[in-house]
């Protein structure tokens, strides 16, 4: 549970960061770890709800949530899912010139926290699985199936059993996703 809390806090810190120069090379795709590759679903799960709705509904043994990938924790099957009602930087205002739209730095930390949900794939011992999520990338629209938990500190974590990538946005030509 402590590792989960550390990963959650670190993901919020990464999401809280803003600006900086975007890398110019496209991200290298590391093949998904075998245990994780099978979690990429061939069809979109039915009955998806938004991140904010899922958090309001609370813990559930079976839950399907749609959102955008806002952060990927390097080396682990852990990412942050952002509610799609919160536009990423530059999504609505193409002239805003943000070089890191995936960090949602155009919004306050409180807004980002209220609209985000940590997603983890855990092993039989309850530890996040190490490995690559394959070509899952920042700002991808995804639908995730799993079990929604809420810890003693009020943090929600979606324990993923599968996900489907709904869409990948096009970024302006001068922007590249980070490595």
Is 61 within a domain?
yes
User: What average pLDDT does range 40-52 have in this prediction?
Assistant: 95
More confident residue, 64 or 133: 64
Q: Tokens in use for 179?
A: 């490595």
Is 174 within a domain?
no
Is 177 within a domain?
no
Is 172 within a domain?
no
How many domains, the chain? Answer: 1
Domain that holds residue 148: 2-167
Is 45 within a domain?
yes
Q: What is the rounded CA–CA span in Å between residue 145 and residue 141?
A: 14
Is 99 within a domain?
yes
| Residue-level pLDDT at 14 | 43
Is 178 within a domain?
no
Give me the CATH number covering residue 10.
2.40.50.140
CA distance to 35, 42, 125, 164, per residue, from 70 (Å): 23, 22, 26, 16
More confident residue, 21 or 102: 102
Is 176 within a domain?
no
How many C-beta neighbours within 10 Å does residue 58 have?
11
Phi, psi of 55 (to 5 degrees): -65, -40
Query: DSSP strand E in the chain: where?
Result: 49-50, 60-72, 78-82, 116-120, 141-150, 156-167
Tell me: the pLDDT tens digits for 140-175? 999 999 999 998 899 999 999 999 999 998 877 777
Please check the confidence at residue 8 and state whether its pLDDT lies above 80. Answer: no
């Amino acid at each position: 549970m402590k590792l989960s809390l550390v990963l959650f806090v670190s993901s919020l810190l990464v999401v809280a960061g803003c600006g900086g120069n975007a890398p110019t090379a496209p991200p290298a795709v590391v093949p998904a770890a075998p245990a994780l590759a099978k979690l990429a679903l061939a069809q979109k799960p039915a009955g998806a709800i938004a991140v904010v709705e899922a958090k309001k509904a609370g813990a559930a043994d079976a839950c399907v949530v749609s959102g955008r990938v806002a952060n990927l924790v390097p080396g682990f099957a852990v990412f942050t899912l952002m509610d799609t009602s919160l536009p990423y930087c530059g999504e609505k205002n193409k002239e805003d010139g943000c070089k890191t739209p995936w960090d949602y730095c155009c919004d306050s930390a409180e807004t980002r926290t209220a609209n985000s949900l940590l997603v983890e794939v855990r092993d039989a011992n309850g530890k996040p699985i190490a490995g690559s999520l394959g070509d899952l990338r920042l700002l991808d629209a995804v639908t995730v199936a799993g079990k929604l938990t809420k810890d003693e500190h009020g943090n929600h974590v979606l324990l993923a059993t599968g996900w489907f990538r709904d869409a990948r946005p096009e970024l302006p030509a001068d922007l590249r996703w980070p490595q």
